[in-house]
A and B are shown apart, each in its own frame.
Chain A
């Protein structure tokens, strides 16, 4: 096929030159006319060259419609239009405009060569992988050997892990018991989001809960700022989600690299608003999402049930809410549910695993000294949650947001490595989640006065030197570097993401452009804005890395030495729990202190014979809430105490 490429510009014909080069590779014979020619000359050239198709390009956008109407008139008069196929292109041209003007098709600045190929061959399938790309869920985390490479560090870690497992071996808690009750009940669930079957519960479950939870089930009283979502709302929401799924064309942010995968954290308070933010984030290229629960949920014994919305940050973890969110996800989206910091850690791990979450989040140290939970309680619950994660084949990540409270990175990292080694011992796939931030310790020490690159570089290099675990900086990257101004905020997120790409980490958690804005909720447009920035920055750097500065080597070595020193101190403590109380992984001077929620709630038991606390399964009886019951609060209607 012979194709005539005709620029209708005085000088600019780069687009047609590019098309010529790419079409030549595909085997087409192309004739490129020089710029600054008349429409009549284009028609004459088409007849002289006996062209099968003409691409007429016009870079400048103004008056383009009138211009191409004239092109059509002239070519018709010459007997070209109708005999030779004609497509048009330019900055202000798209396929719709071209077809409206009666041309074969159109191309604009974002048209791919595959689409032009499809246009020439009249075969949309040739561009389907571009126009309708398919994204597959990656195997995540990517392969690692999970070995601690420094012998001294490994020795301390193993000593500490031995101590933790020995310490918890004769202990349990209300949280562990509730997880067992819930897990036995979940096997009976056959409902769906359209026809929600509420979790049954027993008096024994309620006996392990706080008054807030008991009042919810027994008196139908919601916690303040929480309301029950009606079935009508759920039905309308599902229609919205179905429409979003129909029109969804995945985008890939990474440009030439496999990693880092890009995650966003949601927790608007409402599972339906979360779902909409998730669909928007998926559409703008996010690879995964993380569920954040409200702070009060972490300090309350027991979980609520039903479709619930919270007017503040953090979406209540319930079976129904998680089901609704799971239903909203694209098949390729990785899903993490935070379990780690509160009194419901094992139970949330059970719900997450049962509902098919890809990962969960557990850090005993962070939850104890920053999350408000008693160290002893969270050690018992955290180990159980790791065992649950193993059973459900859920890797878990270990956040180190202690740094935001002022804990030095080496202490936060020591705690993270203890969790990683503990998880590994239990058969899990732990993921290190260092915080890339301009945190209080870093500010006070002046470690980022010159740039945000070098100290973050040293933090990641230190972890990579110590062990080969997956690394997923968060939460989010660039914490405390954001600005209320949208472009600055998107830029700092995107540049931190580019730094992470250079460092070869597995994934990143990114902020929205509203990260620094505290006078209202995060907006969906802010999520799209940040993802746009990341896409463009990944495109800018491609596979080119950011080089470290001269100070990185010394800082990396110092961090490794300080982590070792911290681990040595923890290993020498009477127990890991005592080390947490004593502040060895962060103390009041740093800005943190041991939590009190769940204090004195540990129950000492005889060691179980099979390694798990074997309590009798709880008998269940199901109640079903039919879909379409107008405006009926689902949870209250469904759950009755037996």
Chain B
């Protein structure tokens, strides 16, 4: 049985705005956020800190080229 997560072609992006005091804090919060969502590995695609916080997009690859893709499972 395929889960919704299995149906993701390649990556899951999360974009939001975090209230924080610095870029460093933003990165730490993003890591905690992803951990709380049960996503072990992630990469920050873009992060722009200014004023009240950081506009960010973080990515977790579910299927990379060469993998045995979850969306091809029976």
Q: Chain A residues in contact with chain B, CB under 8 A?
A: 225, 227, 233, 236-237, 240, 268-270, 272-273, 276-277, 280, 309-312, 483-486, 514, 517, 519-521, 523-525
Contacts and interface: CB of A to CB of B under 8 A. Distances in A.
B69 interface: yes
A486 B57 contact: yes
Given A233-B68, A272-B72, A276-B71, 13 more contacts: A240-B72, A270-B66, A309-B65, A309-B66, A485-B48, A485-B55, A486-B45, A486-B46, A514-B45, A519-B43, A520-B59, A520-B61, A523-B13
Contacts of A268: 65
Interface in B19-46: 43, 45-46
Interface of B: 9-11, 13, 15, 43, 45-46, 48, 55, 57, 59, 61, 63-66, 68-69, 71-74
Given A225-B66, A273-B10, A525-B11, A485 B46 contact: yes
Nearest to A273: B65
A270 B65 CA distance: 5
B13 A525 contact: yes
Nearest to B15: A486
Nearest to B66: A311
22 contacts: A233-B72, A237-B72, A240-B72, A269-B66, A273-B9, A273-B69, A277-B9, A280-B9, A309-B65, A485-B46, A485-B48, A485-B55, A486-B45, A486-B46, A517-B46, A520-B59, A521-B10, A521-B64, A521-B65, A523-B11, A524-B10, A525-B13
Nearest to A525: B13
Contact of A236 (B9, B11, B59, B74): B74
B44 to A, nearest CB: 8
A236 B11 CA distance: 20
Given A237-B72, A240-B72, A525-B11, A311 B65 contact: yes
Given A272-B72, A273-B10, A525-B11, A520 B43 contact: yes
A240 B70 CA distance: 12
Contacts of B65: 268-270, 273, 309-312, 521
Nearest to A489: B46
A485 B15 CA distance: 10
Task: Give the top 5 A-B pairs by smallest Cβ distance, nearest first.
Answer: A311-B66, A269-B65, A236-B72, A484-B46, A270-B65
